[in-house]
Amino acid sequence: MGSTSTKIKLRTSDQKVFEVEKAVAVQSQTIKYIYENGCPDSVIHVHSVSGDILSKILDYCKKHVNSAAGKEDISPEELYEWDANFVKVDQNTLFDLILAANCLKIESLLDLTCQTVANMIKGKRPEEIRTTFNIKNDYTIEAEEAVRRENKWAFDMLGGVGTMVIEELADDTMSKCVTNAKSRVCVIAANQIVMMRSISKLANKKSIDVYKQPQNPTTPRIKESVKQINVGTGFIELFFHFKCKM
């Protein structure tokens, strides 16, 4: 009797039953454990996963199993693209996938969803992250201040000779210094690094105007911040003064 097509039955929280090949189902470490330690013929009840989500997850597992086994002719780049499309879903579905992958212990899907969420977070301030994921700010004012203080060291990143840090950029922010050296400037607005610039080519000037126009805004975050500067303050005058050795 060939064991190549052993099937496992899975019943979801909404009473849908799925019959899948063992090789696909045991991509889930949880299902694998239950299958190997329980009676292999009975139905495995997947309580916390709905039929729709399990169906998607099984598609994912099948794709990866087939590609690894060579059953499907798909290059690593194509599989990567397939994965990228797989997670292009609405947020509710994404959450359901995360929870299900966590519950079912599917490492590769956890990595994929983790990277997806990380990409969604990139460049966002805490308020924006909350909006994106509908997370309530459950800090009291004191607690929030305490957390900010606890993490202050992270923003002291470029202080020192040759660097200017502007914190809490707001309308009408002006800082004046005079420099005679190569320097860098880091603009931090609302705890988010929005710009880092070297002024190395202007080393010999005594006073420098910067940020009238960004040189190369690389992310939407930077553009918006510059807009603030332009609209609110016109431009920022920055003169730097350091004791800097060449």
Q: Contacts with another protein in 194-213 (CB under 8 A)?
A: 196, 198, 200
State which H helix or E strand residue 32 sits in.
Answer: helix 29-37
Smallest gap from Cβ 200 to another protein, in A, equals: 7
Q: How far apart are alpha carbons 1 and 110 in whole angstroms?
A: 35
According to CB under 8 A, which one of 151, 177, 178, 212 is a site residue for another protein? 151
> What is the DSSP code string of 62-92?
HHHHHHHHTSS---HHHHHHHHHHHT-S-HH
Torsions phi, psi for 45 (to 5 deg): -95, 115
Q: Is 30 in the site for another protein (CB under 8 A)?
A: yes
Q: How far apart are CA 240 and CA 192, in angstroms?
A: 22
> Should residue 118 be labelled a site residue for another protein when binding is judged by CB under 8 A?
yes
| AA identity, residue 64 | H
- Residue 72 CB, shortest distance to another protein, in Å, is 28
Is 177 among the residues that bind another protein (CB under 8 A)? no
Binding residue for another protein (CB under 8 A) from 7, 19, 29, 42?
Answer: 42
Q: At closest approach, how far in Å is the CB of 234 from another protein?
A: 27
Q: Which of 7, 159, 205, 212 binds another protein (CB under 8 A)?
A: 159
Q: Minimal distance in Å, beta carbon 217 to another protein?
A: 14
Instruction: Give DSSP secondary structure letters for 160-209.
Output: STTEEEE-S--TT--B-----S--EEEEEETTEEEEEEE-GGGTT-SS--
Segment interacting with another protein (CB under 8 A) among 67-75, 135-143, 166-174, 229-237: 135-143
Site for another protein in 49-88 (CB under 8 A): 50-52
Strand-by-strand arrangement of the 17-21 sheet: 17-21, 7-12, 44-46
State the minimum distance, in angstroms, from the CB of residue 44 to another protein: 5
Residue 115 or residue 213: which is nearer to another protein going by CB? 115
